[in-house]
Structure 1
Amino acid sequence: MTLTPDVWWPSVLLAVVVFADAVMSLRPPKFIRDCLDGVRFPREWWWILIVIKLLAVAGLIAGIWLPGVGFAANVGVVAYFICAAVAHIRARFTGQTFWINCLGMLALSVVVLVLSYAL
């Protein structure tokens, strides 16, 4: 395993997707509001999710050139979506949003981690 991605484009793809998620979260559409309300995440803390996502984007991009940074950012994105999945399960909010958005993003971040660092 290397500490810089063997293949750079999966990290960029994940960064673009997480950035789009962060931008959408600035004025959350109904499905994001429903998701955060469904897991009972306090509205006064929604802003911190945007910060976390933007930091992940910066880490994923910087990690293309800086050893260890992209790996840590990718692991952080995986951890973020594991926590989101746990929140959905604990709140029993496991509808379409959980299966498509939450687990879809978790799967994407795991695939990027494997493609970029484990192969």
Structure 2
Amino acid sequence: MMRTLRRRVRPRWPLLTLAGISVGDALLCVKPAGFVRDCLLDVGLPRAVWPVLPVVKTAAAAGLVAGTEYEPLARATAWSLVVYFGLAMGSHLRARDFGRNLFVNATGMMISSCALTAWLEHRRATS
């Protein structure tokens, strides 16, 4: 029997919740809010890279939303977020930024991304 190309993810709320958070994060990076600007400066991210952040975060949100209809895209996006937040945590550690930016923001998003990825991988393994 041929597998269908389109495999929907249900329930959708885990993907849509993280997509909403990513959109909010992207909006905060368009013209970086004070605490976002301070965070980017603290980790030493070059200003030339700052305009790319909203694009990447919006693309992640789009991948998660589209992933509700095509599970391989959801998994690829979730894994990409794990890599992104792993790099973010590494940047905080390298900069010795052990405050709220690391422990609440980057770590919280890493945990959320890992949980989503684990859930999607579990779905794949048990289907």
TM-score normalized by structure 2? 0.85
Distance 2:117 2:75 in 1: 7
SS at match of 1:28: coil
Look up the match of 2:3.
none
SS at match of 2:56: helix
Give the alignment's Cα RMSD to 1 decimal.
1.5
TM-score normalized by structure 1? 0.90
Please say if 1:86 is aligned against 2:90.
yes
- Rg larger in 1 or in 2? 2
Which consecutive segments of 4 or more residues in structure 1 shift more than 4 A?
Answer: none
Deviations 1:4-51 (A, max 9, x none): 535321000000000100011112111111111011001111011111
Look up the match of 1:109.
113
Q: Is the 8 A contact 2:10 2:68 kept in 1?
A: no
Distance 2:8 2:120 in 1: 8
Q: Using a 3 Å threshold, how does the CA distance of structure 1 residues 116 and 5 change in structure 2: closer, same or farther?
A: farther
Equivalent residue in structure 2 for 1:7, among 11, 19, 34: 11
Which segments of 5 or more consecutive residues in structure 2 lack a partner in the other structure? 1-6
Q: Larger RCO: Structure 1 or Structure 2 (Cα < 8 Å, ≥ 6 residues apart)? A: 1
Look up the match of 2:59.
55
- Aligned-residue sequence identity (percent) comes to 33
SS at match of 1:7: coil
Please say if 1:100 is aligned against 2:104.
yes
